[in-house]
Amino acid sequence: MKMYNTLFKNTYIGLIAVLLSSCLSSSKLKPRNFSSMYGIQEQGIECSFKVYHNSDNSSTVYFKYHSKNLLHTRKTATDSFTFSLMMEYEMYDPINPSVIVDTAVMVINQTSSPNKNKLITGSFNIKAKRGNIYTLELRSKDLKKNLTRIDYLTIDKKSATHPQNFLIKHPTGELAYSNYFREGDTILLVYNKPISNPIYLRYLMKEFPPALPPFTFDNDLLLKFDTEQTNILPPPMQDNFKYVVLDKGIHLLKLDTTKEAPGLPIICFESAFFEPDSYKVMLPVMRYITTKKEYEGLMSSTSSLLFDDFWLNITNYDEDKARLVMGEFYNRMQRANELFSSYTEGWKTDRGMIYMVYGPPTIVYRSAKSETWVYGEDDNMLSMNFSFSKIPNPLSSNDFALNRSNIYRNAYYRAVDIWRQGRVGL
């Protein structure tokens, strides 16, 4: 296992390569609550991962953690603050999880100011052979806070054109952990082998609608490239090349033109995806708490008067209260984009829709293929439970669909009505 110690100045890293099947497997028998991952105030462990297939027999996992939410302590008033982060992973065959392929533990101790956010970055290698698919279960634990989060990464080495054969970097050389960009961004694409053939670019410009209510069934769940165009880019002179993201939409770069062959999706959102900054970009998400007539009026209006009036009206024209309720609503929008974005903005997804209306769940249970959200107490008949199943999607590994049911109808309308009474939904 390889750690890049130059990335950890003034850091002690304990690296232990041991079999963890006994301790990790036993933990699977006791479901943990991972709701801290979805808090509005971001009190949970914040991290990102990127998988890159560097050879036929191994892959590299890059990681990035934010220190701001880790507990910092010091022994005396003159000592420096430190935090302690443990990473442990277990990689297994998704068909037979009892077959452990690779496993290890890493402990990172660093000095850091609790008032500043420090990025903790690095990488490690895993034993992944070409032609196979694995599940990497990665647990991150704040040892001082005794708080854990879990992430599941699919390690897909079936195809030589899978997105994990690429790295995306910013012009500065910094690694991009997501494939979401703004119009006009320039990125550097790195492929793990020399490219001798032309690159085929499929471009889709389509505005996806918000998720339907949880009791409404959508029979058309297929992502269709019905407004696509295809361009051919000449093969680059080297294994890395620049690409300018010119237009909003989905840019799918393919090295193989066969329909089944995956490609590298580059998804371009408008700037408001990152920072909602005008009422025009804040209007569409109001579909979740407005009537059809209200929504159509808002969308067709050329000024912000109807927008302002909606929030003032539901709060009895109390401006301070209107700002408070509206602020919570759009904080949820921005957080949903950070957490649930896939081929479309996070607030438009099934998880985003529930998050917008109900807020962060009280309890979250996670597995490699599903999530269960609980609002209320576990095993309480009065609690609301929502189950989401992971959907295989060539454009995103973060696509989850709600298991819909008519039983949600009354509760959903009640939750929406809370917003319409000028109160924060749950």
Please indicate, yes or no, whether residues 289 and 415 belong to a single structural domain of this protein: yes
Contact 180, 271 (CB under 8 A): no
Q: What is the 3-state secondary structure (H, E, C) of 132-166?
A: CEEEEEEEEEECCCCEEEEEEEEEECCCCCCHHHE
Interatomic CA distance for residues 371 and 33, integer angstroms? 11
387: domain range? 275-420
DSSP strands (E only) in 30-81: 47-52, 59-66
Contact 250, 342 (CB under 8 A): no
Q: How many CB atoms lie within 10 A of CB 337?
A: 23
Residue 408 belongs to some domain of the structure: yes
Amino acid 27: pLDDT: 41
CA distances from 144 to 71, 74, 149, 397 (A): 6, 11, 14, 31
Interatomic CA distance for residues 128 and 93, integer angstroms? 11
Residue 334, helix vs strand vs coil: helix
Amino acid 295: pLDDT: 94
Residue 199 belongs to some domain of the structure: yes
Please indicate, yes or no, whether residues 229 and 322 belong to a single structural domain of this protein: no
Please indicate, yes or no, whether residues 150 and 189 belong to a single structural domain of this protein: no
Amino acid 133: pLDDT: 94
Q: Which residues, given as ranges, of the chain have pLDDT below 70?
A: 1-30, 41-42, 218-229, 237-239, 272, 276-277, 425-426
Residue 123 belongs to some domain of the structure: yes
Amino acid 2: pLDDT: 39
Contact 137, 25 (CB under 8 A): no
Contact 228, 249 (CB under 8 A): no
Please indicate, yes or no, whether residues 131 and 188 belong to a single structural domain of this protein: no
Query: What are the φ/ψ torsions at residue 83 (nearest 5 degrees)?
Result: -130, 165
Residue 23 belongs to some domain of the structure: yes
Domain final residue pick, 218, 239, 271: 271
CATH number where 204 lies: 2.60.40
Amino acid 160: pLDDT: 87
Contact 348, 208 (CB under 8 A): yes
Q: What is the Cα 374 distance to its own chain's centre?
A: 20
Where b means 16+ CB within 10 Å and e means fewer, 283-319 reads: bbbbbbbbeeeebeebeeeeeeebbeebbbebbeeee
Please indicate, yes or no, whether residues 266 and 282 belong to a single structural domain of this protein: no
Assign 3-state DSSP to the chain and report helix, strand, coil percentages, each to 5: 25, 30, 45
CATH number where 39 lies: 2.60.40.10
Please indicate, yes or no, whether residues 280 and 408 belong to a single structural domain of this protein: yes
Please indicate, yes or no, whether residues 340 and 412 belong to a single structural domain of this protein: yes
Amino acid 25: pLDDT: 41
Number of compact structural domains in the chain: 3
* Cα-only R_g, the chain: 23
| DSSP string for residues in 193-223 | S---SPEEEEEE---PPPPPPTT---S----
Residue 426 belongs to some domain of the structure: no
Domain final residue pick, 203, 236, 271: 271
Amino acid 103: pLDDT: 95
Please indicate, yes or no, whether residues 283 and 263 belong to a single structural domain of this protein: no
Amino acid 42: pLDDT: 59
Residue 141 belongs to some domain of the structure: yes
Please indicate, yes or no, whether residues 334 and 227 belong to a single structural domain of this protein: no
Nearest to 257 by CA among 189, 200, 208, 319: 200
Residue 173, helix vs strand vs coil: coil
Beta strand pairing call for 186-191 and 228-233: unpaired
Contact 58, 2 (CB under 8 A): no
Amino acid 411: pLDDT: 94
Domain final residue pick, 131, 156, 181: 156
Please indicate, yes or no, whether residues 395 and 279 belong to a single structural domain of this protein: yes
Interatomic CA distance for residues 187 and 181, integer angstroms? 9
Q: How many CB atoms lie within 10 A of CB 347?
A: 28
Amino acid 356: pLDDT: 96
The tokens describing 36, both together, are 């801290």
CA distances from 354 to 165, 211, 322, 377 (A): 34, 9, 22, 17
Please indicate, yes or no, whether residues 63 and 124 belong to a single structural domain of this protein: yes
Amino acid 19: pLDDT: 34
Residue 425 belongs to some domain of the structure: no
Q: How many CB atoms lie within 10 A of CB 282?
A: 18
**pTM (predicted TM-score):** 0.87
Please indicate, yes or no, whether residues 35 and 145 belong to a single structural domain of this protein: yes
Residue 358 belongs to some domain of the structure: yes
